[in-house]
């Protein structure tokens, strides 16, 4: 049996069983600021360039904007929200039973998420902070026997585009969780503009309208923060998991359909994961690996076929045992079909993470961030150590580094240096005071001698 498994994008660091930290039940220092992480699924790095976005623009003016950020491969929702070490797919699968589960049902399969890495929710709780998560991928799961203590999982068949629901969720997070319950960290997820980008395409008027809805929501979030007196106590990071590109179709486009490839036969395959965008995986039957690989390799000008151990190193998608032996991925604009085309999205993601259309956006604002600062691109794995730094918690082992994001932070006073300087000043002052007293006593003695018979 082979199961799909994930670890976390900007939420998680790796953790071995032998390295589980002792629980720290002490509350955080009261001077530590709170942190809200928000993901707008599928918000491409340049979606604000063809739409008027006054609230996102003001947020950039009041804080930090990155040119873009680079997600991990593969650039789809679950891996990019929850990936450092074992990136696999949006699908949970069992190669023995042929069972597959889509995104919503995977939320309740702990083994899918609890794979040796620890989300920042749990790390924060173990170090005395109070954490919450609303709709963020992985919220429902249990990790090493623990769950995020304040949480809400979206209902099945949830309308991810409902702006009224968005505002109710914001009221809950800002008004109840941060203001009333005094939480230290919350992750908040919105399923747009991803859904609109898939359905209508990234260049559609519908997508532009959804970006305007996102912008209104950013304004609503910041207003609520101000209304509850949290502006000087709450840092906000807003980003996304991936971007979006247009799917190429029409008479001039040769679609990728595996069934039509000469020499390839699904009867040689024990298990397959195709028809889910531009990435697929195959488990050939015993003795069929070379036959399947030879048939597919070079069969289509826009299809890349690799044995998993031969995957390009920069993709970091080759070494985990749960990856299937043959990995397929398509060039931008193409999707991988099995027997016949069943994918009809006008927009898609999951392509090479170096493709510009796959890059998401990034904004940050709050008491610990610089103002009116534009920074260069960085990888999303670096958001995790940044968040740990802001929360004042020790991170788990992870692939990011604070050096890649610290330029966006305000310089902190060197408390230790100030204390040392203060101690030096105090010692000098005491020494001078003692010298003054000593001189005064000597003068008094001299006067006393002068008037003593």
The residues annotated with a catalytic role in the active site are: 77
Omega before residue 193 within 30° of 0, cis: yes
Q: What token pair was written down for 269?
A: 């395959």
Cβ atoms within 10 Å, residue 234: 23
d(CA 177, CA 200): 35
Phi and psi torsions of 165, nearest 5°: -60, -40
Q: What token pair was written down for 179?
A: 């203001």
Omega before residue 230 within 30° of 0, cis: no
Phi-psi group of 418: left, alpha or beta (phi > 0 → left; psi -120 to 50 → alpha; rest → beta):
alpha
Cα distances (angstroms) measured from residue 254 to each of 236, 299, 337, 348, 426: 45, 12, 12, 17, 79
Q: C-alpha dihedral over 119, 122, 126, 131, to 10 degrees?
A: 120
The maximal CA–CA distance of the chain, rounded, in angstroms, is 127
């Amino acid at each position: 049996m082979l199961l799909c498994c994930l670890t976390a994008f900007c939420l998680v660091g790796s953790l071995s069983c032998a390295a589980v930290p002792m629980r720290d039940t002490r509350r955080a220092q009261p001077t530590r600021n709170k942190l809200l992480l928000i993901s707008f699924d599928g918000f491409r790095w340049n979606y604000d360039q063809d739409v008027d976005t006054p609230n996102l623009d003001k947020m950039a003016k009041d804080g930090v904007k990155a040119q873009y950020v680079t997600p991990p491969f593969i650039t789809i929702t679950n891996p990019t929200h929850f990936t450092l070490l074992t990136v696999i797919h949006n699908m949970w699968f069992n190669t023995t039973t042929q069972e597959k589960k889509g995104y919503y049902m995977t939320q309740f399969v702990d083994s899918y998420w609890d794979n040796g890495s620890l989300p920042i929710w749990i790390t924060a709780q173990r170090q005395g902070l109070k954490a919450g998560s609303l709709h963020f991928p992985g919220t429902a799961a249990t990790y090493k026997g623990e769950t995020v203590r304040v949480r809400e999982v979206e209902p099945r068949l949830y309308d991810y585009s409902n702006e009224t629901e968005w505002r109710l969720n914001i009221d809950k997070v800002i008004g109840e969780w941060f203001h009333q319950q005094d939480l230290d960290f919350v992750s908040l997820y919105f399923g747009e503009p991803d859904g609109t980008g898939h359905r209508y395409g990234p260049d559609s008027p519908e997508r532009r309208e959804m970006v305007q809805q996102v912008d209104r929501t950013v304004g609503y979030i910041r207003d609520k923060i101000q209304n509850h007196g949290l502006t000087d106590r709450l840092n906000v990071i807003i980003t996304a998991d991936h971007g979006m590109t247009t799917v190429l179709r029409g008479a001039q486009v040769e679609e990728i359909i595996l069934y039509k490839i000469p020499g390839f036969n699904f009867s040689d395959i024990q298990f397959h994961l195709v028809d889910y965008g531009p990435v697929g995986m195959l488990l050939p039957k015993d003795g069929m690996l070379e036959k399947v690989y030879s048939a597919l390799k070079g069969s289509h000008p826009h299809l890349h076929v690799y044995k998993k151990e031969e995957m390009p190193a920069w993709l970091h998608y080759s070494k985990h045992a749960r990856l299937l032996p043959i990995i397929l991925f398509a060039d931008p604009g193409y999707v991988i079909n099995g027997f016949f085309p069943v994918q009809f999205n006008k927009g898609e993601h999951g392509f090479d993470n170096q493709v510009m259309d796959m890059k998401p956006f990034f904004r940050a604002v709050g008491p610990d961030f610089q103002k009116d600062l534009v920074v260069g691109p960085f990888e999303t794995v670096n958001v995790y150590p940044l968040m740990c730094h802001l929360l004042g918690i020790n991170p788990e082992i992870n692939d990011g580094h604070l050096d890649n994001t610290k330029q966006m932070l305000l310089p902190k006073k060197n408390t230790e240096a100030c204390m040392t300087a203060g101690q030096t000043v105090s010692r000098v002052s005491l020494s001078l005071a003692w010298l003054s007293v000593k001189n005064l006593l000597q003068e008094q003695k001299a006067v006393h001698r002068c008037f003593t018979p």
